[in-house]
Amino acid sequence: MTAAANPILEIDQVTLAFGGVKALNGVSFEVAPGSITSVIGPNGAGKTSLFNTISGFYRPTAGHIRFLGEDITQRPAPQRAKLGLARSFQNIALFRGMTVLDNIKLGRHCHLHTGVLDALFYYGKARREEVRLRADIEERIIDFLEIDHIRNAPVAALSYGLQKRVEMARALAMQPKVLMLDEPVAGMNREETEDMARFILDVREEWGVTILMVEHDMGMVMDISDHVVVLNFGEVIADGTPAAVQGNPEVIRAYLGSGDVEELRRKLHGEVEA
C-alpha cells in the first residue's frame, strides 16, 4: 500500500539495540487512518520489540515515532495511551481475580481525573456527566463484544478466547484512535479465531478505530489486513498489500530460512486449522 497523505502513525528509522543486539534496525513504515495494518515475520524478527517501542515500554536507540503528526518518541507509555494509542498483550494481562466489568472499568483509568487539583476542582455536574459517559461506553463495549452474560464473572473462570475478548474490551474502553493487538488469535481454535477476526473488522467499521496488529496466523492476517509489514532480523523486508507481500520472494525466503515456510504455505492455502 502506498503511504497515506496523513498517516495516523509513523515509524521513522527506528532502531532498538539491546547491548550489541539490534532488535530493530532502521524500521520505517506508516499506518493509514482507518486501516488494518499487520506486522508479521519469523520468530525473533523484532515484532514484540517494535510493539513495545511504539507503545512506549522501550525507548528507541534512534529514530522517531509520530502519532497524529506529533513526535511521541520521548513520551512515556501512559501518556501515549491517553493520546489514543491503546494495546493488548501477547500473554493476557488482565486482573484475573476481578470481574469482566471491573477489568473494563480499569481501561477507562487513563482518562480519569485523579490528581489532587483535579479532585478539588472537578466535581458536581462535570463529574456526574463523566460517570454517565463512562457507563454508556462500558455498556456499548459489552454489547458490541457480546460479553453481557459474563460481565460479573471473574476473568480467571473464562475460556482463553473469552479472556482475549475481555482484553480487547478493556483496550476499547480507553477509546483509542489506534488499537494495537499483540497476537490477538494466538492459541485460539478456528471458531474463536473467526469470531475475533470479525470483531477486529467491526471495531474498525463501527468504532472507526485504526488497527495495528502483530499476528502469526497468516490466514487471518491475509484475510483482514489492508497493509502488511514484514520484518526479518529487525528490518522491514516487505511492506504492501497482502497480495503483494505473499508473492514477494524475499518474504518466502525469510520464512524458508526460519523453517516456517511449510506452515506459511499451508496457512495461506487454508489447509491448517487455526
Q: By CB under 6 A, name the binding residues for ligand ATP.
A: 18, 21, 23, 41, 43-49
Closest separation between CB of residue 218 and ligand ATP, Å? 13
Nearer to ligand ATP, 49 or 193 (CB): 49
Closest separation between CB of residue 17 and ligand ATP, Å? 9
How are strands ordered across the β-sheet holding 178-182?
85-87, 178-182, 210-214, 36-40, 227-232, 235-240
Closest separation between CB of residue 185 and ligand ATP, Å? 14
**Burial, 264: exposed, middle or buried (Cβ in 10 Å; 0-12, 13-18, 19+)?**
buried
Q: SS3 letters for 62-73?
A: EEEEEECCEECC
Residue with grid cell 470481574, as numbered in its chain: 99
Nearer to ligand ATP, 40 or 110 (CB): 40
Which among 221, 227, 232 has a CA at the least distance from the CA of 255? 232
Closest separation between CB of residue 256 and ligand ATP, Å? 16
Closest separation between CB of residue 254 and ligand ATP, Å? 11
Residue 51 CA to residue 216 CA, distance in Å, equals 14
- Beta-carbon neighbour count of residue 46 at 10 Å? 23
Nearer to ligand ATP, 43 or 152 (CB): 43
Nearer to ligand ATP, 43 or 114 (CB): 43
Closest separation between CB of residue 219 and ligand ATP, Å? 17
Residue with grid cell 502506498, as numbered in its chain: 2
Nearer to ligand ATP, 138 or 183 (CB): 183
H or E element in which residue 45 lies: none
Residue 98 CA to residue 120 CA, distance in Å, equals 29
Closest separation between CB of residue 227 and ligand ATP, Å? 18
Amino acid at position 251, single letter: V
Nearer to ligand ATP, 41 or 107 (CB): 41
H or E element in which residue 240 lies: strand 235-240
Please state, in angstroms and as integers, the Cα–Cα distance from residue 180 to each residue in 51, 98, 176, 209, following that order.
8, 23, 9, 10
